[in-house]
Amino acid sequence: MLYLIGLGLSNEKDITIAGLEIVKKASRVYLEAYTSILMIGKDKLEEFYGRSVILADRVLVESSSDTILSGADTDDVAILVVGDPFGATTHTDLLLRARALGIPHRTIHNASIMNAIGACGLQLYNFGQTVSMVFFTDTWRPSSFYDRVRENREIGLHTLLLLDIKVKEQSLENLIRGRKVYERPRYMSVAECAQQMLEIESEKGEGAYSENSLAIGVSRLGSENQQFISGTLTELSTADLGAPLHSLVLLGKRVHELEIDYIREFSIDKESFDRAFAAEHGKV
């Protein structure tokens, strides 16, 4: 059987008991290592599991999945996924391939950013579409996220923005020349996300949000040193939330007084927070 096993958000101990039992008996164990990352290295997983783990990068998962699926009809093969297995479409595609080959499969779920984000103090049922923010380049500045944010804001919903990570990426030159030389890993920060959001709003000028719109910066969610900072997008554009991974939540108008009291406590500047909230919501 092919198993997709969620690892949770932080470290080697976040795996469920059901997941750990499968890992210990599977013939091969892969760690999908590019849609997200844990806050520990592969060696910590191997030490805790008492067995070796194969690192599966984008090429292996998306282009050479036959290697992973080979033998999964006769042996147990496990793929470890940070968060929950269905947090990325890549894993749905893998199950479709397994189904086409007649390989049985099972999913072991775990906590993900999609539900753990409630720890920031906002009610989950008032979140709208989740969007991704990728690193801008000199020639590529995708803004499709903007329309999704605007749709959420029009009906008062919060928006969770998942921030880009670049792991085992090649430069264009190395890719063209076929050189397997990889760039250093990069992880988008809350500050970079806020800056890019403000740049796109300045270009479009459609008022999906403004420099004074309130948002929450989140870092290392699920870990012992997770951090939340609330403030305007302008304030967050210079905020330092330390080590990755980061995400950002843009507030919608469907917000309860208790939620506001909660997130105000970790605001960068409480007076600025109150002014920004009053400007968009008509009250403090």
Which residues carry a binding-site annotation for S-adenosyl-L-methionine? 9, 84, 87, 112-113, 163, 221, 246
Annotated binding-site ranges:
9, 84, 87, 112-113, 163, 221, 246
Strand order in the sheet with 131-133: 131-133, 159-163, 246-250, 214-219, 227-232
Closest CA to 29 of 83, 84, 85, 78: 78
Phi (first) and psi of residue 267, to 5 degrees: -75, 150
CA distance 44 to 41: 6
Who contacts 63 (Cβ-Cβ below 8 Å, separation ≥6)? none
Closest CA to 230 of 207, 213, 245: 213
The number of helix segments (H) and strand segments (E) in the chain equals 12, 12
Closest CA to 236 of 255, 254, 258, 215: 215
Distances (CA, A) of 102 to 1, 5, 62, 262: 10, 20, 19, 50
Q: Is the dihedral of CA 105, 56, 63, 68 positive or negative?
A: negative
Q: Strand, helix or coil at 6?
A: strand
Phi (first) and psi of residue 169, to 5 degrees: -100, 145
